[in-house]
A and B are shown apart, each in its own frame.
Chain A
Amino acid sequence: MTNEDIRQVIADALGYASVPRFRGSSREAAFLSGAEDVPLATLEIDSLAAMELCIAIETIVGVSILPQQLAEIGSLNALVTTISGAL
């Protein structure tokens, strides 16, 4: 799985987790192209959305991430690295 695939998985997962104002935004496009990193703190990820994001990642790629790990991971690019390293 390439990093581009992982970026798409994360974007899909954020959409499924109903993270507001990301799906279809210019930030999503920039993240998918690799042009821009997105700090997780700038996304409105509440505890339910964090759980759904982790479930979606695990369901699609089989990598387990705890919701509380997201804060340590810090950004979407770091999340790509974490998933890539676990595959």
Chain B
Amino acid sequence: MSLLGRLQDHSERMGEVEAISSAEHSALTYRELQGRVAAGAAFLKSQGIAAGTAIGIAVTDEVEHLTATLALMAVGAHQVTLASHDTAGAKERIARRLELTHILEAPATEDLPGLVRVSWPQRGVAPTVNVIEWTEGGGIIYFGTSGTTGEMKLLPLTDRQIAAQAQRHHDYAGERVLRLGSIEHNISKRLRLYCVWAGGTNVFVPDGEFDVADLCVHQRVTELDISRLHAADLAARELSMLRGVRISVAGSPLPFDVRRSIERNVTPLLTVRYGATECGTIAFAGPGEHDEAEAVGPPVRGLELQIVDPAGAPLPPGTTGLIRLRVDGMTSGYVGDPQETQARFRDGWFYPGDVGMVRADGNLIVQGRSDDMMILNGINVFPAEIERVLERHPAVLASAALPLESKVHGQIPVAAVELRSGVAVTTGELLSYARELLALRAPRRILVLEALPRNSQGKILRREIAAQFETARSGR
């Protein structure tokens, strides 16, 4: 069943269940959300938005953004987020690549002056229509991904594909789900939509400063979805009030020590997910399933996963190779990028670009990005392995490993670290520690930075770190 079909179904079967909970809005039940989406769709039609209209959403309020997203799906428009954190130039490039004709905004902006502007009502459209009339399968949501290197990749997902991905998130059913990242971010938007599909309650963060633990208690949150960065923060705190809350971490590998700290200090109900925008969840390790190898669990039911060599030949269990998979709800390529599409989508398989192995017990271990693999004098070195080791050091909060190009040695691994506050350690100590554990795969130089440079989604900007290494090298 499609996402909008599920929303209609929830409205009829469990209309009084809270769909939305937010400090800035009154709670919305599924019946009320469905009414707002239906009215929003009628409003959009009155503004000339129809099936196939290419439109950017620049609605900053998260609840309104979700409602507008669903309403645009209902009219069959092709939509993309124009995030408030994106530069004007980035928005222009998105608009050009997707041939946007309209922008739906609240509040008004001066971005993209050539587009037809539609102002989304600030407190939503009053529900006057009871039934959503939707164009099933017609609308597309474009998601942007991998903004850390070069141009953002844009990939299309239909209502049906999002619904298929959401089925692998059925554990949201009946939960009150708080996602700390803004809905303007790709992964947050998908998880919000999965939650609607499952019939859970989407809890939104308030404007301004707030304490996560207090918010969870106040909002009776039962599932907290966070990034690796947030997880590292939580792991360092004693938050026994969250003992019964399920914490789900996705987006980047989560080191074993952080997992253990969360289990000990916060909640034993920890789930670590491995997935990609292109296909949704691939595997997850649930409570009690975390081990030192940092396995991410077995591939989810219905997903076919293989470990293969560069030519695509399957490798035996326990062998490291390229991860590839196929599953219902998977996209088939990137907009206007045939080269990247050909690299990632081959023979009906999606290659996420990760290297890993499947253990004899069926659990998947992701060892790093195949693109990121360094070769130092013939030795394969994965940045993720270096980062895992460095982040097990008690002084290190976060780390990023990267190569220094060498005409003689290939790629020399180096790393930048961000230290925990109030802790001192020398780079010499960190180098010796890494050398002890990684031997020839250890970083040969470590820079201690006040904070690792990150983009708005929290992803580490390795190119900026590489530039700092070059500066440090030429400055000596």
**A62 engages B408 (CB within 8 Å):** no
B51 to chain A, nearest CB (A): 57
What's the minimum C-beta distance from B447 to chain A, rounded to whole angstroms?
A: 11
User: With A64-B406, A64-B407 given, is the CB distance from A55 to B444 under 8 Å?
Assistant: yes
B473 engages A60 (CB within 8 Å):
yes
Please name the residue on chain A nearest to B442 by beta carbon. A16
Task: List B contacts of A58 (CB < 8 A).
Answer: 404, 406, 408-409, 412
Residues of B contacting A61 in the complex (Cβ-Cβ under 8 angstroms): 473, 476
Of B377, B435, B473, the residue contacting A51 (CB under 8 A) is: B377
Let me know if B474 is at the binding interface, CB within 8 A. yes
Q: Judge if B305 is at the interface, Cβ distance under 8 Å.
A: no
Q: State A5–B473 Cα separation when bound (angstroms).
A: 13
Residue from A5, A59, A66 within 8 A of B444 (CB atoms): A59
Residues of B within 8 A of A38 (CB): none
Query: Is the C-beta of B290 less than 8 angstroms from some C-beta in chain A?
Result: no
Tell which of B376, B408, B412 has the most Cβ of chain A within 10 Å.
Answer: B408
* CA A60 to CA B412, docked complex, whole Å: 11
Alpha-carbon distance A77/B201, docked complex (angstroms) = 71
Which A residues between 55 and 86 are near B, CB-CB below 8 angstroms? 55-56, 58-62, 64-66
Q: Using Cβ atoms and an 8 Å threshold, which residues of chain A touch B476?
A: 1, 5, 9, 60-61
Known: A51-B377, A62-B473. A56 touches B444 (CB 8 A): yes
- Cα A13 to Cα B450 with chains together (Å): 25
Main secondary structure of the interface of B (DSSP, over half): mixed
A59 and B474 within 8 A (CB): no
Contact with B along A1-16 (1 / 0, CB 8 A): 1000100010000001
| A60 lies within 8 A of B445 (CB) | yes
The reply to whether the CB of A19 lies closer than 8 angstroms to some CB of chain B is no
B residues near A1, Cβ cutoff 8 Å: 476
Q: How many residues of B contact A (CB 8 A)?
A: 16
Q: Are A54 and B473 in contact (CB under 8 A)?
A: no
Scoring B residues 163 to 204 as 1 if CB is less than 8 Å from chain A, else 0, what string do you get? Answer: 000000000000000000000000000000000000000000
Residues on A with beta carbons closer than 8 Å to the beta carbon of B435: 16
* Contact of B445 with A59 in the complex, beta carbons under 8 Å: yes
Nearest Cβ on chain B to A39's Cβ, whole angstroms: 23
How far apart are B108's CB and chain A's nearest CB, in angstroms? 51
Q: Does B414 contact A (CB under 8 A)?
A: yes
CA distance A54 to B376 in the complex (A): 13
Nearest CB on A from B454, distance (A): 24
Per the bound structure, the CA–CA distance linking A16 and B412 in Å amounts to 14
> B304: shortest Cβ distance to chain A, in Å?
42
Bound CA span A61–B431, Å: 17
Residues A1-53 near B (CB distance < 8 A) = 1, 5, 9, 16, 51
Chain B contacts for A5, CB-based, 8 A: 476
Complex Cα distance, B476 from A58, in Å, reads 12
CA distance A9 to B476 in the complex (A): 9
Q: Which residues of A contact B408 (CB under 8 A)?
A: 54, 58, 64-66
In the assembled complex, how far is the CB of residue A51 from the closest CB belonging to chain B, in whole angstroms?
A: 6
Name the CB-closest residue of A to B445: A59
Q: Which residues of B contact A59 (CB under 8 A)?
A: 404, 412, 414, 444-445, 473
**Chain B residues near A65 (CB-CB < 8 A):** 408
Cα(A65)–Cα(B414), bound, Å:
18
User: Which residues of the partner chain B approach A62 to less than 8 Å between Cβ atoms?
Assistant: 473-474
- In the assembled complex, how far is the CB of residue B344 from the closest CB belonging to chain A, in whole angstroms? 33
Across the interface, which residues of A come within 8 angstroms of B406, CB to CB? 55, 58, 64
Closest B residue to A67 using CB positions: B408
How far apart are B469's CB and chain A's nearest CB, in angstroms?
A: 9
Cα distance A16–B277 in the bound complex, in angstroms = 42
Name the distance in Å between B472's Cβ and chain A's nearest Cβ.
9
In the assembled complex, the Cα of A5 lies from the Cα of B407 at a distance in Å of 24
Within 8 A of A (CB), among B430-451: 431, 435, 444-445
Chain B hits for A66, CB < 8 A: 408
Chain A positions within 8 Å of B376 at CB level: 55
Give bound CA distance, A21 to B254, whole Å: 40
- 10 closest cross-chain pairs (CB), A and B: A62-B473, A59-B444, A59-B445, A64-B408, A59-B412, A55-B444, A1-B476, A61-B476, A58-B406, A55-B409
Q: Enumerate chain B interface residues (CB-CB to A < 8 A).
A: 376-377, 404, 406-409, 412, 414, 431, 435, 444-445, 473-474, 476
Can you give 21 contacting A-B residue pairs, CB < 8 Å? A1-B476, A9-B476, A16-B431, A16-B444, A55-B406, A55-B409, A55-B412, A58-B404, A58-B406, A58-B408, A58-B412, A59-B412, A59-B445, A59-B473, A60-B476, A61-B473, A61-B476, A64-B406, A64-B407, A65-B408, A66-B408
